């Protein structure tokens, strides 16, 4: 029996996990500009404390999905086109991202929050996806995009690694068999750097955002994708047999992030990151194995939101800032309402932007540069 399974074009389970990830991030940032005395903010403290793990879930999902595209392309053609991969990624990532930057920059300029001139240099790290290493005063509106920089750096490096493996490995049926060993090496190396950094008081630019301490989460997704494509029957049999144990273990591994504040808990930003990506990977694997696009209305709605999660993620942070500025003229809105309004506006506005910019660009991309992994 062949050790392969049919790979679905679109997974409802993964879209639902995307929705979960973006909901967690929204809840994390919901109270940033809110009055801390508001009762609903106190009720949301639990999710606010640990909602940042939505980013780590995105990392594992991205590693899995990007590696899946490249593995499928190699199986189909016997090689990977680095140029085509980057072009197709560019069509998906850049138009919504730079569109958000342009629109928010114009608003900031019109409100005299920033001025063109020397302050324009603040834009450079965000333009070139290095904001995870270089902080600027614009963090208040684009601070959440550090995770996009980590992913963008990963998109440039992963295909090169896989192409290198295809050039050096002699096993034609599995040229990526070193992936598990590389994953262990990357995981240990990142953990070692995080332990060394522990001696320094918590700082986002050192303990949260750098690529070299967070890439293990992405590579965990690559490892699961490798198992999915080259050890599929073994993986599916094991996950189906122990799915409830794996799901409970995964939840237990991510739970500490909701119990301890990251900035005051060195364990969370050292070993905790490792626990997170292992827990997220276990949850993702059980979701994949049990995946089945059905007719459940709620599941379809949540999956739809997940399919638009990129634009929702892009816009939720700027919207939170805009809503609390005097120029927005929302002072008449009761403060207790800001929390639900922020959540609804972020999701609805993100979906609209996705349908106006992101989805048309993807259709145009597919016409100009058809998928090599379809």
pLDDT at 56: 97
Mean pLDDT, the chain, whole residue set: 90
pLDDT tens readout for residues 346-362? 999 999 999 999 999 99
pLDDT at 254: 97
Instruction: Output the DSSP codes for 275-289.
Output: HHHHHHHHHHHHHHH
pLDDT at 1: 37
Phi then psi for 272, rounded to 5 degrees? -60, -40
- Give the model's confidence band at 96: pLDDT under 50 very low, under 70 low, under 90 confident, else very high: very high
pLDDT tens readout for residues 167-222? 987 777 889 999 999 999 999 999 999 999 999 999 999 999 999 999 999 999 99
pLDDT tens readout for residues 106-139? 998 888 877 777 677 889 999 999 999 998 989 9
Instruction: Output the DSSP codes for 173-204.
Output: S-TTTTHHHHHHHHHHHHHHHHHHHTTSPP-H
For residue 117, the 8-state DSSP code is S
pLDDT at 340: 83
117 burial via Cβ count (<10 Å: 0-12, 13-18, 19+): exposed
For residue 329, the 8-state DSSP code is -
- Indicate if the pLDDT at residue 3 is higher than 60: no
pLDDT at 327: 79
Decide: 80 and 163 in contact? Cβ < 8 Å.
Answer: yes
Phi then psi for 80, rounded to 5 degrees? -120, 130
Decide: 104 and 318 in contact? Cβ < 8 Å.
Answer: yes
- Indicate if the pLDDT at residue 38 is higher than 60: no
- Indicate if the pLDDT at residue 5 is higher than 60: no
pLDDT tens readout for residues 138-167? 998 999 999 999 999 999 999 999 999 999
Q: 9 Cβ partners below 8 Å, 6+ apart?
A: 374
pLDDT at 303: 95
- Indicate if the pLDDT at residue 65 is higher than 60: yes
User: How far apart (Å, rounded) are the C-alpha atoms in residues 241 and 229?
Assistant: 19
pLDDT over 90 percentage in the chain: 73
Buried residues in 199-228 as b, exposed as e (16+ CB within 10 A): eeebebebbbbbbebbbbbbbbbbbbbbbb
């Amino acid at each position: 029996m062949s050790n392969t399974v049919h790979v679905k074009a679109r997974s409802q389970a993964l879209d639902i996990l995307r929705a979960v990830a973006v909901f967690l991030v929204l809840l994390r940032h919901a109270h940033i500009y809110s009055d801390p005395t508001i009762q609903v903010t106190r009720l949301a403290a639990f999710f606010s404390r640990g909602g940042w793990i939505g980013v780590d879930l995105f990392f594992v999902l991205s590693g899995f999905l990007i590696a899946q595209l490249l593995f499928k392309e190699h199986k189909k053609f016997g090689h990977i086109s680095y140029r085509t991969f980057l072009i197709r990624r560019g069509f998906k990532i850049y138009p919504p991202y730079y569109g958000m930057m342009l629109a928010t920059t114009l608003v900031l300029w019109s409100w005299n929050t920033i001025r063109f001139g020397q302050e324009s240099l603040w834009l450079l790290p965000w333009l070139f996806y290095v904001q995870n290493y270089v902080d600027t005063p614009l963090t208040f509106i684009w601070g959440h995009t550090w995770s996009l920089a980590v992913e963008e750096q990963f998109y440039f490096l992963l295909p090169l690694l896989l192409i290198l493996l295809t050039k050096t490995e002699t096993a034609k049926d599995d040229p990526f068999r070193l992936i598990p060993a590389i994953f262990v090496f990357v995981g240990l190396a990142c953990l070692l750097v995080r332990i060394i950094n522990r001696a320094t008081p918590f700082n986002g630019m050192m303990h949260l955002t750098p690529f070299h301490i967070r890439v293990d989460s992405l590579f965990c997704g690559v490892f699961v994708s490798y198992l999915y494509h080259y050890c599929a029957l073994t993986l599916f049999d094991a996950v189906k047999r122990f799915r409830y144990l794996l799901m409970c273990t995964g939840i237990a591994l991510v739970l500490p992030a909701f119990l301890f504040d990251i900035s005051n808990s060195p364990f969370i930003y050292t070993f905790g990151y490792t626990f997170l990506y292992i827990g997220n990977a276990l949850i993702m694997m059980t979701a994949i194995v049990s995946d089945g696009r059905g007719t459940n209305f709620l599941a379809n709605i949540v999956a739809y939101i997940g399919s638009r999660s990129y634009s929702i993620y892009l816009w939720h942070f700027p919207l939170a800032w805009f809503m609390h500025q005097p120029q927005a003229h929302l002072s008449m809105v009761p403060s207790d309402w800001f929390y639900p309004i922020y959540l609804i506006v972020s999701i609805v506005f993100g979906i609209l932007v996705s349908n106006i910019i992101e989805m048309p660009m993807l259709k145009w991309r597919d016409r100009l540069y058809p998928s090599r992994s379809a």
